[in-house]
Chains A and B, each alone.
Chain A
Amino acid sequence: MSSGPSLIRSVKEIPPIDYYTSGHRTCAGCGAALIYRLVTKAAGPNTILIGPTGCMYVANSHQFLTSPYAVPWYHTQLGAGGAAGIGIAAALRALMVKGKRKPEDINIIVFGGDGGFADIGFSGLSMALTYDYPRLLYLLYDNESYANTGIQASSTTPWGATTTFTPSGKVKRIGNERYKKNMALLAAAHPKIKYVATATIYPPLDLMNKVIKALNSGGPSFIHVLTPCPKGWFYAPHETYELARLAVETGMWVLWEYSEGKFKLNYKPRPRKHVKEYLRRQGRFAHLTDEEIDMIDKMVEEEWKYWLESDKLGKIILPW
């Protein structure tokens, strides 16, 4: 086995330069903006970014005709992220093969929201993952709603959450009654896929190192990143980091990677905290009763048996 790409071992080693810089109008405390920063930091200057419509397009471009990107960034329609990634990768490959451009490693990172990748752009994403373009990373920043248009439920919105499409009210008290779709498992179902992972902003270097691994994996890759969103999750902006940490420590967000056909858990919460520590800090779950929250905790407990078993075997077992 090769020695693999060089990873970042401590926070002091992170590249100091940002390629997604200050001067954008995402929410104060926006988790998605933070993820954009960390990912582009890890990817470095030789990167092309693609952004399907969503908060990360609308809040980052055209403010008085200025832009916060220090690397090329390109907007695609909401469902077109998958195809745009392939298109740019194919164009670069053709130019290099024909000798019209000097051969070099260029990262292509498509940042899709859950609307952009899990719902509307899902087919394009799935198509893209069957190609062989290296350094092509599809990154789903999952703020668990269509945030830009005012927090509507998507297929990654968790059970119980209030959104503007699934408001908790007098007639129907439970908000969203659908269960959260696991996009990373779906990505892993593409045969011979080189690298699939889940991440969030906690632990500190996990996401950046996963981006480095994904870009160096030799094929298209996919990372599903849980993204705290103060507006949509209904919490005060300073809690963004804490919520990501609690999502991991309560086991509600499972950190794993699937590389060259091998499954590995990256974090085992020991002891796992009760999910109420995570849920009770968010307004979107404020209507849930203690019993309902206990029920979610039991579901998480049950799932974790399978995650641990998968970890032991190095193979994915569906947890449901």
Chain B
Amino acid sequence: MVRLVKVKPHIERFPEYEELDWIVSHAIGVDQTSDAMRFSQVLAQAAVIRGYESYYYMRYDDSPERNYLPMIYYVVIGNPKINVLLREEIEPVGHLFNVIAVFSSNYLIQRTAQRALLFDGAKTNATLVVNTSLSPDAVISLVKKYSLAQDWNGKVVTISSSKIDKSIAFPMIGATLRGYEKIDLDAVLRALDILGLEKKKDSVRKGYEQAVVKEVNIRAEETEKFKTMKHEIEIPEFDGKYWNPEVYYAYQKAAATAENYVQRIAAMPRWEVLAPGLIEFGPKPGDRNIGFTTGEWRFQRPVINYKKCIDCKLCHLYCPDGAIDFNPIKVDYRFCTGCGVCVTVCPTKAIEMMQEIQAMEGLIDEEVPVKRFEEREYGY
């Protein structure tokens, strides 16, 4: 038997960074990388023009950039000298974020690249900027349902960016200025000149004008997560026995219940539990690796119409993530990344892609498309 112990996640790790302003963007790996990069680059440049120290850097879900893997860009803005530690690209955890820019609305309901829920680490007066065709009210109700509990007296800004420019970064920049005062439109326009992006001035202006802004006032108790979130997580106790698969798998089970990044790290197996040489235990044949689920990446999901399914097994054969059970044919949504290969191999067109936000909430967001290569910058 494995004994479980309780650990409390300690979120406030870097109090000195609270003096800084942070703009965090959540975007879909590869598809939206160039957008999140341009967004952060321009805002950092504009902050410098206004006399602040500023710096931007990126982070993926524990990996180099990969398609659909959630990614994050951080912009740090502030007067205190940004110190060396920051330049090592820290993962800010704590009440830090002033602006949370969401490039795809699935991050309102899914975990982000930090394996955290939105608002894990936001300031109580933060501005949430979302690239979506949904209304601010719809966004607020999603926040109440899916985000991490907290008091929030800030703003929601929504913008349907791709209607303005296929580089959605620029309308998003305009929209952000409606909820963040340290940077103004003038500074951004000058930044665009410096960066050789003067053609995008119009998109920024339009984003600024067309953004829909709404003040929010939510008490933590009004959010569903506040009622349900476990503030403690149970992890296995190391029993002194090295290389113990039983304890290892218990860690994995604990990890599957983690609610945020700090809890997730706490539920990482201790090295003594691994085999000598840090050898990881894989899943038993027939199981999946529950210690690292990828379903959180998904902005669209395949839905099988069993009336049309002829059980040919091709979708099982061709799933790059092995997320479709062989018998019976069934998608394991804990792991499906929503790539859509199954749709292209199905001979009877029994599989259709549905937006994640539609499957979960019955909403349709026109800003959740798959991008063609013509709409992205190569190399970012």
Residues in chain A within 8 A of chain B (CB atoms): 11-12, 14, 16-31, 33-34, 37-38, 45, 58-59, 61-71, 73, 148-151, 162, 164, 167, 201, 204, 230-231, 234-242, 282-284, 286
Once the chains bind, are A27 and B67 in contact (CB under 8 Å)?
yes
Known A11-B317, A58-B64, A167-B378; judge A18-B373 contact (CB<8 A): no
Cβ-based interface call for B126 (8 A): no
Candidate in A14, A37, A238, A284 with the most chain B CB atoms within 10 angstroms: A238
What residues of chain B have their CB less than 8 Å away from a CB belonging to chain A? 29-30, 61-69, 252, 255, 264, 267-269, 274, 278, 280-294, 297, 312-314, 316-323, 326-327, 332, 334-335, 337-341, 343-345, 353, 370-374, 376, 378-379
* Contact among A14, A22, A167 with B335 in the assembled complex (CB-CB below 8 Å): A22
Nearest A residue to B312, CB-CB: A11
Known: A14-B317, A66-B289, A204-B317. A237 touches B294 (CB 8 A): no
State which of B289, B313, B326, B341 has its C-beta within 8 Å of the C-beta of A29: B341
Instruction: Name B's interface SS.
Output: loop
Q: Which residues of A contact B379 (CB under 8 A)?
A: 150-151, 164, 167
- Contact A64/B268 with A71-B282, A167-B378 known, Cβ cut-off 8 Å: yes
Which chain B residues border A33 with CB–CB below 8 Å? 320-321
Complex contact B370–A236 (CB within 8 A): yes
Complex: how many Å from CA A231 to CA B282? 27
A149–B282 CA distance with the chains assembled, in angstroms: 25
A150–B30 CA distance with the chains assembled, in angstroms: 11
Instruction: Please state if A34 and B64 are interface contacts (CB–CB under 8 Å).
Output: no
Chain A hits for B321, CB < 8 A: 22, 24, 28, 33
Contact of B280 among A22, A67, A150, A283 (CB under 8 A): A67
Complex Cα–Cα for A230 and B319 (A): 14
B339 touching A28, Cβ below 8 Å: yes
Q: Are B318's CB and A23's CB within 8 A?
A: no
Residue pair A240, B64 in contact (C-beta under 8 Å): no
Query: Which of B65, B281, B286 contacts A17, CB < 8 Å?
Result: B286
Contact A66 B252 (CB under 8 A): yes
Residues of B within 8 A of A234 (CB): 373, 376, 378
Within the assembled complex, what's the spacing in Å between the Cα atoms of A162 and B252?
41
User: Please, how many angstroms separate the alpha-carbon atoms of A11 and B329 in the complex?
Assistant: 13
Which residues on the A side are within 8 Å of B297 (C-beta)? 28
- Contact yes or no, B291 A23, CB < 8 A: yes
Which residues on A sit within 8 Å (CB–CB) of B292? 23-25, 63-64, 66, 68
A230 / chain B contacts, CB cutoff of 8 Å: 30, 67
Given contact pairs A30-B67, A231-B67, A283-B376, enumerate 13 new A-B contacts (beta carbons under 8 Å). A18-B322, A22-B323, A22-B334, A24-B294, A37-B322, A58-B63, A65-B278, A66-B280, A230-B67, A234-B376, A236-B340, A237-B68, A241-B341
